[in-house]
Amino acid sequence: MTTAAGATSEAVWVLPEEPIPVRLMNTVWADRRGVHDALRTCGDLEGWLAATGLSAGPVTNCQVDTFRDLRDALRRLAALLTDDSRPAAASPLQDLAQAVEAVNHAADAGPAGPRLRLRASRLERDETPTGATGALAAVARQAVALLTNDEDAARLSSCHAPGCVLYFIKSHPRQSWCSTACGNRARAARHYRRRRRGDGTRAESTGDRSHEISSVASHVAPDG
Ligand SMILES: [Zn+2]
């Protein structure tokens, strides 16, 4: 995977309705300028943790590189499950055993289970991850559950709209694209190819070549 030079990390997180492990996978995203990494700095990580509800406020022990390692491992495993051969989406971590090890390593990083919290003389179960390390472990454990649940794993998909590098969970069996925006672009590209084959002349521009991240982020109704 290469990332476009000079890209800024917009505080826009794509496909916000996806489960958190898929949202971590999708911190690699693309537009017409190329592939971008939304997790490059401690500020990026703080923003992502806040957006996913895993943590609010400053991250004391910034581990953006460990989150990227987990992200790349999850993208490799998602590629395995979805037969994903999109070159632009390929994880820099290709070795499957190493990807599994990276997920397990992250899962071991935080507290082993729920903790006890005392609030106004009442005992409560506290499952809120503690800091970046706890959040990392929480995401890894959710990923283990997702990737090994037959139903979830079967619904995990890679989006093959032109230029898209995202993963998503199908909300219905016929859903082919991660978002309405990708569905529209895929249909426009198909129409363009047909016209070019059909009448032998160069078709007009499809007029919808842009990959507007705001449209992707809105993740409007599932699209088949
Ligand atoms: Zn897509």
pLDDT at position 199 is: 59
Residues 102 and 45 in one domain: yes
> Would 90 be classed as within a structural domain?
yes
pLDDT at position 2 is: 41
Residues 159 and 210 in one domain: no
Domain termination residue (choose one: 151, 172, 193): 172
Q: What CATH number should be reported for the domain holding residue 30?
A: 1.10.3300.10
> Would 78 be classed as within a structural domain?
yes
Higher pLDDT, 150 or 55: 150
CB 26 within 8 A of CB 58: no
Checking if the pLDDT of 46 tops 70, the result is yes
How much of the chain, in percent, has pLDDT values that exceed 90? 64
> Would 206 be classed as within a structural domain?
yes
Best CA proximity match to 109, nearest among 129, 125, 127, 91: 129
Checking if the pLDDT of 8 tops 80, the result is no
Checking if the pLDDT of 5 tops 60, the result is no
CA of 148 to the centre of ligand 1 (A): 23
Q: For residue 211, what are the domain limits?
A: 179-224
Q: Taking ligand 1, which is a single-atom ion, which protein residues have CB atoms under 5 Å away?
A: 159, 161, 164, 166, 178, 182
Instruction: Tell me the pTM.
Output: 0.80
Report d(CA 110, CA 135) in Å as an integer: 8
Q: pLDDT per residue over 163-217, tens digit each? A: 999 999 999 999 999 999 999 999 998 888 888 877 555 444 443 334 444 444 4
Residues 30 and 62 in one domain: yes
CA of 216 to the centre of ligand 1 (A): 7
CA of 113 to the centre of ligand 1 (A): 35
pLDDT at position 57 is: 75
CB 129 within 8 A of CB 59: no
Residues 212 and 161 in one domain: no
Domain termination residue (choose one: 172, 195, 213): 172
Q: What is the dihedral of CA 87, 12, 38, 97, to 10 degrees?
A: -60
Residues 49 and 88 in one domain: yes
The dihedral built from the CA positions of residue 213, 215, 221 and 224, taken in this order, carries a sign that is negative
CA of 206 to the centre of ligand 1 (A): 17
CA of 102 to the centre of ligand 1 (A): 26
CA of 94 to the centre of ligand 1 (A): 22
Residues 211 and 110 in one domain: no
CA of 168 to the centre of ligand 1 (A): 8
CA of 183 to the centre of ligand 1 (A): 7
Report d(CA 219, CA 114) in Å as an integer: 32
**C-beta atoms surrounding 22 within 10 Å:** 23
For tokens 């990580």, what's the residue?
A: 45
Higher pLDDT, 218 or 117: 117
- Count Cβ atoms within 10 A of the Cβ of residue 48 and give its class: 0-12 exposed, 13-18 middle, 19 or more buried: buried
pLDDT at position 132 is: 86
Number of domains in the chain: 2
Q: pLDDT per residue over 95-141, tens digit each? A: 999 999 999 999 998 777 778 889 999 999 887 777 888 899 999 99
